[in-house]
């Protein structure tokens, strides 16, 4: 991996860990802040809302070189995670989580552009997937480590380590990421011109619905593993490693398949796998084996679609809207996280905390994502660069 992509992957790691670590430490954080678990789900939503607002940085920073934007994003991540580590009450933690989310979507939109620009011809999706791998590795190693620290010491230590990681990444970006020219300045309005076409809306809505469905379950995966699967709290970090492994494998496979096939079809397949997993969460009685398999499977599906969706949107925004388009995926992703967390929490409240119902609450929403991407790939796929990047596969 090129050093520049490694530095970007390190940034993806800090943001991925900051986003997902709350799922593993939710019970401990809720107890420390003296709120219920469904109420603690708002810490997940606060991060996601921050992601949406953070895109304004790109709107007004369109003339700034992408490398300088990445440095700014790491500085904000450093501040947000530091505040999370020292939060003294629930409102302060909500505010800190909001700040931590501000750079997320803007980072991935900018980093996708840099990774695509620096990639060898024909390997754009693989380059993007390597950058996104930092986020998936965060789920395989960072989130379980944070969960374990929360079990053994304090959930605050997890955020303190993330703050230190953000500081390290800031220096890596300064040293390793080369200068990349700013995108074409087409004005504030011109950055959003790509949204006048229907194709990008299919992708963004699919990202939103797909993640809403998964996060009905994923937001509460830690108590689900304990209540439904019968796992002890001490084993949850190991299950988080398994979920993270699924995400890493899914991200790599998705990147390679996208370079050989159609991105929209690849993403549709991913959401279909997630849909099947959510239905199984509802229908299969929980035990150690089934919950472990489902944790891996849905984790695999969650990041299978990451690189195809990011690449499709950056291509859609070519001509001045690349950063906004790339960030749009993360906005839809995190807005879906927020809604999914709320819907999942409502399902738990309505069923007296029956964690099977987080799956059935999310399944119909994920079905919408599959339908949107099937329509997209049938109607618009040949109008992307995908057809030119297809390769003959020797059997």
CA 47 to chain CA centroid, nearest Å: 12
pLDDT at position 1, please? 54
Rounded CA gap, 118 and 128, in Å?
10
Q: Measuring CA to CA, which residue among 74, 96, 98, 78 is closest to residue 87? A: 96
pLDDT at position 385, please? 47
Q: How many CB atoms lie within 10 A of CB 276?
A: 16
pTM: predicted TM-score of the whole model, two decimal places: 0.76
Q: How many CB atoms lie within 10 A of CB 350?
A: 11
Rounded CA gap, 181 and 393, in Å?
36
- Tens digit of pLDDT per residue, the chain (395 long)? 578 888 999 999 989 888 878 877 888 898 899 888 778 878 888 888 888 888 888 777 777 888 999 999 999 999 999 999 999 999 999 999 999 999 987 898 788 888 878 777 766 667 777 787 777 777 677 777 777 787 778 889 989 999 999 999 999 999 998 888 777 767 777 788 888 888 889 999 999 999 999 999 988 888 899 999 988 877 887 887 888 888 888 888 887 787 777 888 888 999 999 999 999 999 998 889 999 999 999 989 988 887 788 778 877 777 777 778 877 887 888 788 778 988 998 999 899 889 999 999 999 999 999 999 999 888 877 644 444 433 333 33
178 within 8 A of 239, measured Cβ to Cβ: no
Q: Which domains does the chain have, with CATH numbers?
A: 1-185 (1.20.1250.20), 186-394 (1.20.1250.20)
337 within 8 A of 211, measured Cβ to Cβ: yes
pLDDT at position 382, please? 61
Rounded CA gap, 161 and 166, in Å?
9
Rounded CA gap, 112 and 125, in Å?
9
List all residues 6 or more positions away from 150 whose beta carbon is below 8 Å from its beta carbon.
Answer: 24, 25, 28, 29, 157, 158
List all residues 6 or more positions away from 388 whose beta carbon is below 8 Å from its beta carbon.
Answer: none
């Amino acid at each position: 991996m090129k050093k520049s992509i490694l530095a970007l992957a390190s940034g993806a790691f800090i943001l991925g860990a900051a986003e997902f670590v709350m799922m593993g430490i939710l019970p401990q954080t809720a107890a420390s802040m003296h709120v219920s678990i469904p109420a603690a789900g708002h810490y997940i939503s606060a991060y996601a809302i921050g992601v949406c607002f953070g895109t304004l940085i790109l709107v007004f920073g369109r003339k700034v070189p992408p490398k300088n934007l990445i440095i700014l994003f790491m500085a904000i991540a450093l501040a947000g995670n530091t505040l999370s580590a020292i939060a003294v009450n629930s409102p302060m933690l909500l505010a800190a989580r909001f700040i931590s989310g501000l750079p997320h979507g803007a980072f991935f939109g900018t980093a996708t552009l840099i990774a695509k620009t620096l990639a060898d011809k024909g390997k754009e999706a693989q380059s993007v997937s390597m950058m996104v791998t930092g986020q998936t590795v965060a789920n395989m190693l960072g989130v379980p480590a944070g969960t374990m620290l929360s079990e053994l010491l304090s959930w605050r230590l997890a955020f303190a380590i993330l703050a230190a990681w953000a500081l390290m990444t800031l220096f890596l970006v300064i040293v390793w990421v080369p200068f990349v020219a700013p995108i074409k300045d087409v004005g504030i309005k011109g950055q959003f011109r790509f949204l006048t076409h229907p194709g990008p809306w299919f992708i963004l809505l699919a990202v939103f619905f797909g993640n809403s469905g998964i996060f009905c379950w994923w937001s509460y995966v830690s108590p689900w593993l304990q209540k439904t699967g019968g796992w002890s709290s001490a084993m949850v970090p190991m299950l988080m490693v398994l979920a993270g492994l699924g995400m890493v494998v899914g991200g790599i496979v998705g990147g390679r398949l996208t370079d050989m096939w159609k991105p929209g079809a690849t993403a549709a397949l991913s959401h279909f796998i997630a849909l099947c997993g959510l239905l199984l969460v509802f229908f299969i009685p929980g035990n150690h084996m089934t919950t472990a398999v489902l944790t891996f499977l849905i984790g695999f599906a969650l990041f299978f679609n990451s690189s195809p969706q990011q690449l499709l949107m950056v291509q859609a925004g070519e001509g001045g809207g690349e950063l906004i388009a790339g960030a749009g995926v993360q906005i839809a992703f995190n807005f879906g996280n927020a809604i999914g967390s709320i819907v999942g929490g409502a399902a738990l409240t309505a069923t007296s905390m029956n964690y099977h119902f987080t799956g059935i609450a999310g399944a119909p929403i994920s079905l919408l994502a599959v339908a949107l991407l099937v329509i997209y790939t049938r109607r618009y796929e040949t109008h992307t660069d995908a057809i030119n990047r297809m390769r003959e596969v020797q059997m």
